[in-house]
């Protein structure tokens, strides 16, 4: 019923292909203004009061767009925002055709026995970009190697690292929030890519060199790690 309601508001979605559905949104692929486009639709939650749901969904949509635009203004690569429909809560984003997730790139490199120096360079670039994002007080909220893309530029240029999926992002100057952001990435990184502890340490070292705010964030990261270990011991 919720799907039919939103389709009525946005019949354009009928022409698009559904490529992913999560708890918060559906993601479609289509063409908008002649360009390959990703459409992210936040659908109604029937378990919430309709008025409250509308306010929360609108707020999340606004925050996601703001985070993307704030990052782009700071020189961080993110998909271009083509259009936002606040009636159907749809965000129209650049489709990064031909890109590959950092997750797939690391897995492929490990399987092929590629020179680890290449991955070290990528880890350093990730650290620099995350430091820049946190210096802008943007907390991603769902940092994983699946939410980072590598987009190939010209033949001689190195691939561009692009951050995607800011659906859980928010603005915060607190080192605690940024430390948790890095902790989420660390847990996802090490569980997805076994035997990459040194690679993640390279990322953190690059992050520390790139940001003047890093000491407070890394201190909070250590505290969050300690809390996580205590929870694991308690069960």
Q: Tell me which residues are annotated as active site.
A: 142
Residue 70: which residues within 8 A CB-CB, separation 6 or more?
136, 138, 171
User: Quick one: angle between helices 175-192 and 116-135, nearest 10?
Assistant: 160
Q: Which helix (H) or strand (E) holds 140?
A: none
Residue 224 CB neighbour total at 10 angstroms: 18
Residue 222: which residues within 8 A CB-CB, separation 6 or more?
none
Token digits for 47?
């378990």
Token digits for 78?
């993110």
125 close to 205: Cβ distance less than 8 angstroms: no
Token digits for 109?
């490199």
Residue given tokens 């076994």 in the structure block: 194
Residue 28: which residues within 8 A CB-CB, separation 6 or more?
13, 16, 17, 18, 19, 38, 39, 40, 41
Q: Measured between alpha carbons, how far is residue 36 from residues 17, 98, 126 in Å?
A: 12, 11, 26
């Amino acid at each position: 019923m919720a799907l039919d309601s939103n389709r009525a508001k946005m019949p354009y979605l009928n022409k698009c292909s559904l490529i992913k559905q999560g708890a918060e949104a559906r993601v479609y692929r289509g063409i908008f203004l002649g360009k390959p486009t990703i459409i992210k639709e936040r659908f109604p939650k029937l378990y919430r009061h309709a008025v409250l749901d509308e306010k929360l969904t609108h707020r999340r949509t606004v925050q996601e767009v703001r985070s993307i635009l704030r990052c782009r203004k700071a020189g961080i690569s993110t998909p271009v925002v083509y259009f936002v429909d606040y009636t159907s809560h749809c965000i129209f984003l650049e489709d990064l055709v031909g890109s590959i997730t950092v997750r797939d790139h690391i897995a492929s490199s490990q399987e092929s026995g590629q020179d680890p120096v290449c991955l070290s360079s990528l880890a350093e670039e990730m650290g620099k970009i995350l430091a820049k994002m946190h210096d802008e007080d943007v907390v991603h909220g769902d940092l994983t190697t699946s939410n980072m893309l590598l987009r190939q530029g010209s033949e001689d240029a190195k691939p561009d690292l692009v951050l995607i999926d800011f659906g859980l992002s928010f603005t915060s100057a607190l080192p605690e929030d940024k430390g948790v952001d890095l902790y989420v990435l660390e847990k996802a990184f090490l569980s997805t890519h076994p035997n990459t502890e040194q690679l993640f340490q390279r990322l953190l070292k690059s992050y520390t060199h790139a940001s003047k705010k890093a000491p407070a964030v890394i201190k909070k990261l250590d505290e969050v790690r300690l809390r996580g270990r205590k929870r694991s011991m308690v069960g």
